[in-house]
Amino acid sequence: MTDVLVLGGVAPSVSALARGLEALAALGAEVDVLLLNLPAGGRVPQPHRSAGRLLPRRYTADVPPRRWSRAWLVEGVRYRLLLVRLRTTSASVRVAALAGRDAGARAAAERADVVVALDRWAVYAAWRLARRRDLPAFQGLPAAVDHLRLRPVRGRTS
C-alpha cells in the first residue's frame, strides 16, 4: 500500500479534490491531506475546516516545559521569532514553516511514500518534505495519479 501526503496552501474545490482522491484510492493509496487556507491578504493563515492544526503552536513538545525554566524561555523566544518570520515571508515559505513545525504534519511526512502539492503555495513545502527522505514529489493530483499508474511505489510492509 502506498502512502500519499497531499499538501495545499489554499482550499481547493471539493469536486476537484474528491476526483483526485478517488483516483488515488482506486490505485490502493492511503492519503493524508493537510490543507492550509491562506487569506487574500496573506497575513496569518487559518486552518481549513478539514485540515489538521497547522497554526504555530507555542510548544513543540507534547508537554509544555515548567514556567520560567530555561526550556520555557527558549521555546518562548523560538515562538516569537517564528511569528516574526511568518509575518515577513512569502506564502509558500509560510506554508513550509508551518508544516515543518507541526508534529502531525511531520508524522504524515514520515509515513509518506509520495508527496503532492495541490497549489503553488505548497510546492516549496512539498519539495522540502520530499527532499528530506528522497521521495517523489508532484504538483497536482493528476501528475501523482499518472506516476502511480505507471510506476507503483511499494509502501512499507510493516
The predicted pLDDT at position 51 comes to: 40
Query: In this model, does residue 43 exceed pLDDT 70?
Result: no
Query: Which residues are 46's β-sheet partners?
Result: 37
DSSP string, 119-140: SGGGHHHHHHHHHHHT--EEES
pLDDT band with cut points at 50, 70 and 90 for residue 158: very low
The predicted pLDDT at position 156 comes to: 56
- Which percentage of the chain shows pLDDT scores above 70? 79
pLDDT band with cut points at 50, 70 and 90 for residue 54: very low
Tell me the CA distances in angstroms from 75 to 45, 69, 89, 113, 120, one per residue in order. 21, 10, 21, 32, 31
Give every strand in the sheet of 2-8, ordered side by side.
Answer: 46-47, 29-37, 2-8, 114-117, 137-139
Q: pLDDT tens, 63-81?
A: 677 888 888 888 888 888 8
Q: pLDDT tens, 109-131?
A: 899 999 999 998 899 999 999 99
- Length, in residues, of the chain: 158
- Which percentage of the chain shows pLDDT scores above 90? 28
Q: pLDDT tens, 79-103?
A: 888 888 888 888 888 888 878 877 7
Q: Domain 2-150: which topology?
A: Rossmann fold (3.40.50)
DSSP run (H or E) holding 117: strand 114-117
Tell me the CA distances in angstroms from 148 to 4, 13, 64, 139, 155, one per residue in order. 10, 23, 41, 14, 12
Query: Which residues are 50's β-sheet partners?
Result: none
